[in-house]
Structure 1
Amino acid sequence: MNLTTKKIISLFLLISIIIIPLTGCTGAKDSSKVLNVYNVGDYIDESLIDKFEKETGIKVQYSTYDTNEMMYQKVKSGSTKYDLVVPSDYMVSKMRREGMLKKIDFKNIPNIKNIDKKFLNPKYDPKNEYSVPYMWGTLGIAYNDKYVDKKDIGSWDILWNPKYSGKILVFDSVRDTMGAALIKLGYSMNTKNQKEIDEAKNLLIKQKKYALAYVNDEGKDRMVGEDAHIGMFYSGDYPLMKQENPNLKFFVPKEGSNKWVDTMCIPNTAENKKEAEMFINFLLDPQNAKVNTEYIGYSTPNKECLKILDKEIKNDPSGYPDEKLLNKCETFIDLGDFLKVYNRAWIELKSK
Structure 2
Amino acid sequence: MKRTTTSTALAAGLALLAQSAAAEGNLNLYNFGLYTPPELLEKFSKEYDVEVTLTDFVANEEAIARVQAGGHGMDVIIVSGYFIPAFVEQGLLMESSPSEMENFNNIAEQWKSIPTDPERSYTVPWVWGTTGVMVNTKVYDGDINTAAIFLDPPEELKGSINVVPSMNDMIDMTLSYIGAEPCTTDRESLSKARDLLLSAKENWASVDYPSFEKFINEDLNASVFWSGASARIHGMNDGFEYGWPATGYMKWMDNAAILSDATNVENARLFLNFIMAPENAAMISNYTMYSNGIVGSEEFMTPELVNARELSVPDELKGAAIEQKLCGREAQDLYTRIWTELTR
Change (3 A) 1:48 1:170: closer
Q: Name the SS of the counterpart of 1:59 in structure 2.
A: strand
Give me the whole-angstrom Cα distance separating, in 2, the residues matched to 1:79 and 1:205: 39
Letter in 2 for 1:77: A
Q: How has the CA–CA distance of structure 1 residues 315 and 98 changed in structure 2, closer, same or farther, with 3 Å as cutoff?
A: same
| Aligned equivalents of 1:326, 1:69: Cα separation in 2 | 28
SS at match of 1:244: coil
Question: What are the Cα deviations for residues 27-76 of structure 1, in whole angstroms up to 9, with x where unaligned?
Answer: 98436432222222221111221211221122323322222122212222
In the alignment, what sits opposite 1:42?
34
Change (3 A) 1:76 1:324: farther
Counterpart secondary structure, 1:44? coil
Aligned length: 323
In structure 1, distance between residues paired with 2:284 and 2:271 = 13
Larger Cα-atom Rg: 1
Structure 1 distance, partners of 2:55, 2:124, is 19
Residue 221 of structure 1 aligns with which residue? 213
Q: How does 1:290-305 map to 2 (within 5 A)?
A: 290-305=282-297
C-alpha separation between the residues in 1 aligned to 2:197 and 2:286?
35
Tell me if structure 2 keeps the 8 A contact 1:156–1:255. yes
Equivalent position of 1:60 in the other structure = 52
Which residue in 1 is equivalent to 2:277?
285
> Identity, % of aligned pairs?
26
Please give the alpha-carbon distance, in whole angstroms, between the structure 2 residues aligned to 1:283 and 1:132: 8
Gaps of 5+ in 2: 1-18
Q: 1:323 to 1:84 in 2, by over 3 A?
A: farther
Gaps of 5+ in 1: 1-26
Counterparts of 1:128-207 in structure 2, within 5 Å, are: 128-150=120-142, 152-159=143-150, 160-164=152-156, 165-207=158-200
Provide, for residues 193-238 of structure 1, a one-character-per-residue CA deviation record: whole Å limited to 9, x for no partner: 33322221111122123323323224x3332222333221111111
Within 1, Cα distance between the matches of 2:202 and 2:95?
A: 48
Counterpart CA distance in 2 for 1:293 and 1:314 is 10
Contact 2:98–2:120 (CA<8 Å) still a contact in 1?
no
Q: CA deviation at 1:265?
A: 0.8
Alignment-derived partner of residue 258 in structure 2: 266
User: Could you tell me which amino acid in structure 2 is paired with residue 168 of structure 1?
Assistant: I
Q: Measure the CA separation in 2 of the matches of 1:306 and 1:192.
A: 42
Decide whether aligned partners of structure 1 residues 213 and 48 sit closer, same or farther in structure 2, where only a CA change above 3 A counts. closer
How far residue 89 of structure 1 moved from its aligned partner, in angstroms, is 1.1
> What TM-score do the two structures reach when normalised by structure 1?
0.84
Query: RMSD in angstroms over aligned alpha carbons?
Result: 2.3
- Residues 122 and 41 from structure 1, CA distance in 2 versus in 1: closer, same or farther, beyond 3 angstroms? same
Matched to 1:156, the amino acid is A
Q: Does the CA-based 8 Å contact 2:97-2:120 persist in structure 1?
A: no
Query: Using a 3 Å threshold, how does the CA distance of structure 1 residues 40 and 168 change in structure 2: closer, same or farther?
Result: closer
Structure 2 equivalent of residue 76 of structure 1: 68
TM-fit CA distance, 1:269 = 1.0
Check conservation: 2:23, 2:267, Cα contact below 8 A: no
Q: Is the 8 A contact 1:314 1:320 kept in 2?
A: no
- Distance across 2 between alignment mates of 1:96 and 1:54: 32
C-alpha separation between the residues in 1 aligned to 2:41 and 2:32? 15
Give runs of ≥4 in structure 1 deviating > 6 Å: none
- SS class of match (2:35): coil
